[in-house]
Copies of this chain bind each other. A is one copy, B any other.
Amino acid sequence: MKIEMISTGEEVLSGQIVDTNAAWFANVLMDNGLELQRRTTVGDRMEDLIDIFQERSKQADVILINGGLGPTTDDLSAEAAAAAMGVNLVEHTGWLEHLEGWFANRGRIMPESNYKQCLLPDSAILVDNPVGSAPGFRLKLNNAWLFFTPGVPYEFKRMVEEQFLVFVRETFGVTDPTRLAKLVTLGHGESTLADQLTALPVPPGITLGYRPSPPIVEIKVFARGSAGIQAMGDYVFQVKEALGNAIVTDRFASIAEEVHTLLVEQQQTLAIAESCTGGMLTSQLVDFAGSSDYLLGGLVTYANATKESILGVATDTLAARGAVSLETAAEMAIGARRQLGSHFALATTGIAGPDGGTDDKPVGLVVIALCDGEHCWVQAVRLVNRTRSLVRIMSCAVAHDMLRRRLLGENPIVDYPFIERRDMQVLNSS
């Protein structure tokens, strides 16, 4: 079965928004053992829409179309589908009553523009939208079933999960099983990882892929068919052996989620002091429900005066060593831990850029500290040729990785071949 997707909308094609629906859809297909073969993106232009419906419906078996079902003038999907079919748009009385009722229940009159959403191509089958005003619909054109869905993400997702997948399973039966394992690495390059794995024969039914997505490089092991799935466990084990401590998590998509889970599992608490990362280190943990169990607080002390007043960093340290120094980072971590009474504390201070660097302390220099009740591990790394945003993202990854290693009883400071370390120190934290 050939599944394709057509994303519509000037705002997707023109890059005003990133097509997260498309990424989500392909992921869900894979989780269900289905595979997307092609995705096409076109704008809100009537002739382009009609062309693409005609063209792809001759090649594919089922096509998920996303977007263009809203109430405004640039929403053209239903009209284009009718034109491609050579039929008229007709009023769907059931949906009109549903919409009028929905507005009436909220004490409002249905806006004029929503009437448009009750017009579907003649003979199209309505696909219920339980959470929005735009109904979906499906129709058969040439060789393919076209399945139309709205662009609003939570409406789209509900309709795919509750209706599209059911429709595909019932209409086409099940295909070859697939499975995907992901190993996240930090501080290594795609080509050096690949070189470390060339000696390892890839079993039939297994595909190996690399996805560099700063701060990490993800290694993907795809298995297709029963041979692949059978070989998978053993092969993944060998890959892990070969890569050793380059792998920072094999169960989550990010280091932050691994740290979150370890803190919850081990019932340990954390305090965070941030300068250049500016709340990002804290926010990456608050992303996960349950972070309130261990995260006692995050103190973004951007100004030197705040480092003194909130964290108790010594005026002398700031004067003698500067805000970006091993000593200041250590005092920030120790101060945050003391202030909040946590088991662990992380601190970052650095020069995110694009300005503010000196010869001695260039843009991209970041100092990261981790302390527990006994020790404070501090390292200064230099992140060259990175944007402001990327300096902050990489710094958070290294900080979380230090805590992750400490929680696993390993040395928090390790060599990352692709991250330059300028300096390091292990101090007493008292």
Provide the bound-state CA to CA distance between A341 and B310, in Å: 12
Map CB proximity to B onto A277-298 as digits: 1 under 8 Å, 0 otherwise.
1111111011101011001111
Contacts of A299 in B (CB 8 A): 297-300, 310
B48 touches A42 (CB 8 A): no
In the bound complex, do residue B27 and residue A15 qualify as a contact, i.e. CB atoms below 8 Å apart? yes
Q: Is the interface of A mostly helix, strand, loop or mixed?
A: mixed
Residue contact B211 to A16, C-beta cutoff 8 Å: yes
Q: How far is the CA of A299 from the CA of B302 in the complex (A)?
A: 11
Does the CB pair B11–A22 fall under 8 Å?
A: no
A297 and B310 contact, Cβ closer than 8 Å, known pairs A14-B36, A26-B14, A48-B37: yes
Query: Which residues of chain B are near A280, meaning CB under 8 Å?
Result: 279, 283, 286
Indicate if the CB atoms of B211 and A11 lie closer than 8 Å.
Answer: yes
Contact: B25 with A15, CB < 8 Å? Answer: yes
A340 within 8 A of partner (CB)? yes
Q: How many residues of A contact B (CB 8 A)?
A: 102
Closest to A303 in B: B296
- With A283-B280, A295-B302 in contact, do A191 and B111 touch (Cβ < 8 Å)? yes
Q: For the complex, what is the distance from the CA of A74 to the CA of B387, rounded to whole Å? A: 28
Chain B, residue nearest A202 (CB): B73
A408 within 8 A of partner (CB): no
Stretch at the interface among A87-95, A192-200, A259-267, A314-322: A192-200
Q: Judge whether A282 and B278 touch: CB under 8 Å.
A: yes
Task: List the number of copies, as a whole number.
Answer: 2
In the assembled complex, A113 has its CB within 8 A of some CB on chain B:
yes
Q: Which residue of B lies closest to A133 (CB)?
A: B191
Contact of A279 among B22, B25, B283, B310 (CB under 8 A): B283
What's the nearest-Cβ distance from chain B to residue A389, in Å? 7
Stretch at the interface among A77-85, A212-220, A226-234: A212-220
Query: How far apart sit A72 and B207, CA to CA, in the bound complex (Å)?
Result: 12
B37 touches A40 (CB 8 A): no
Cβ contact within 8 Å between B220 and A11 = yes
A131 contacts across to B, CB distance below 8 A: 385
Q: Return chain B residues, CB-CB under 8 Å to A41.
A: 22, 38-41
Contacting A302 at CB < 8 Å: which of B71, B195, B198, B296? Answer: B296
Residue in B27, B309, B388, B389 whose CB lies within 8 Å of A16: B27
Q: Chain B contacts of A71 at CB under 8 A? A: 190-191, 194
Closest to A284 in B: B279
Q: A289-B354, A297-B301 are known contacts; what are 4 more A-B pairs with Cβ within 8 Å?
A: A278-B286, A278-B291, A279-B281, A297-B306
Can you list 6 A-B pairs, Cβ within 8 angstroms, ordered by A?
A16-B23, A18-B18, A37-B43, A74-B208, A278-B286, A289-B352
